[in-house]
Structure 1
Amino acid sequence: MNKEEQVIMSFRELFNKMAWLNKFKMEDSLKGYKSSEVHYIECIGKNPDSNVTKLAESLYMTRGAISKMTKKLIKKGIIESYQKPDNKKEIYFRLTEQGQKINKVHEKLHKEFQERDKAVFEQVTQEQFDSMLIFIEKYSRHLDAEIKKLGIDSKSE
């Protein structure tokens, strides 16, 4: 296996370990909510004035999938839709009180996981962080360009 393959395999393995380790506590603390719902809630919580298009772009989902999830979460009382007085055409979404509670639990869990893993990050130098971030950004831009070359809009239907 060459270095490229090692990096990709290591990223996948690292991500899978994190997801597996975090899964138990997440599922226990957020009973009754699917991972996709929690990520949707988190996205609305972090992005004021979220609409279908913004959510689709942020979550790499189709607008149709976003609309379906939106209806589901409105029905559950987790999010609500609204319009701005100056723009009656666009529909935006925000968290209800119940949605904010779920988002706070989720944020708290992320802080716990960050604290758990702090020992590793304390050993990383600023130069190492910078190198990793530069690599991730380059790779992300490359993947964006590949998606664009194929004429695939991963964020629409």
Structure 2
Amino acid sequence: MNKEEQVMMSLRELVNKMAWLNKFKMQESLRGYKSSEVHYIEYIGRNSDSNVTKLAESLYMTRGAISKMTRKLIKKGAIESYQKPDNKKEIYFRLTKQGQEVYNIHEELHKEFQERDKVVFEQITEEQLDSMLNFVEKYNRHLDEEMKKRGY
């Protein structure tokens, strides 16, 4: 296995381990919500005037999948739809009180996980972090270009 393959395999393993470790605490704290639902709530909580198009682009999902999930979250009482007085065509989403509570719990869990993993980041130099960020940014740009080629 070459170094590129080692990097990719290690990144997948890292993400899988983080997901596994975080999963139990997330499920316990966010009962009744699936991970995908929490990601929608997180996006809507962080971005005002969220609509189907913005959600689809940011979460790399189809507009149909977004519409289905937003209907589900409206039914659960986590989000609500609204229209702007000057634009009756577009439908936007915002968190309800219940959705804001889910969002807040999720944010607190992220802080808890960050605190748990802080010991690793304390051992890494600023230069190493910059190098990792540089790699991730380059790889992201490459994937963006590949997605454009495929019409996404």
Residue aligning to 2:13: 13
Query: Which residue does 1:75 correspond to in 2?
Result: 75
The residue number in structure 2 matching 1:51 is 51
* Residue 21 of structure 2 corresponds to residue 29 of structure 1: no
| Unpaired runs of at least 5, structure 1 | none
Q: Does residue 1:134 correspond to 2:105, yes or no? A: no
Quick one: distance in 2 between partners of 1:67 and 1:150?
Answer: 23
Q: Which moved more, 1:38-47 or 1:140-149?
A: 140-149
TM-superposed CA distance for 1:150, in Å, is 2.5
2:114 aligns to what? 114
Q: Distance in 1 between matches of 2:60 and 2:38?
A: 15
TM-score, normalised with respect to structure 1:
0.95
Cα shift at 1:145: 1.0
Cα offset for 1:44? 0.4
Matched, 1:64 2:67: no
- Does residue 150 in structure 1 map to residue 150 in structure 2? yes
User: TM-score, normalized by length of structure 2?
Assistant: 0.98
* Matched letter for residue 54 of structure 2: K
Give the partner amino acid of 2:6: Q
Partner of 1:104: 104
Secondary structure in structure 1 of the residue aligned to 2:50: coil
The 3-state SS of whatever aligns with 1:42 is helix
2:148 match: secondary structure = helix
Residues of 1 paired with 2:131 and 2:56: CA distance? 30
Distance 1:131 1:146 in 2: 23
SS in 2 for 1:113: helix
Partner of 1:94: 94
What stretches of structure 2 of length at least 5 have no aligned partner? none
Total equivalences in the alignment: 152
Q: Could you tell me which amino acid in structure 2 is paired with residue 94 of structure 1?
A: R
Query: Aligned-pair RMSD on alpha carbons?
Result: 0.7
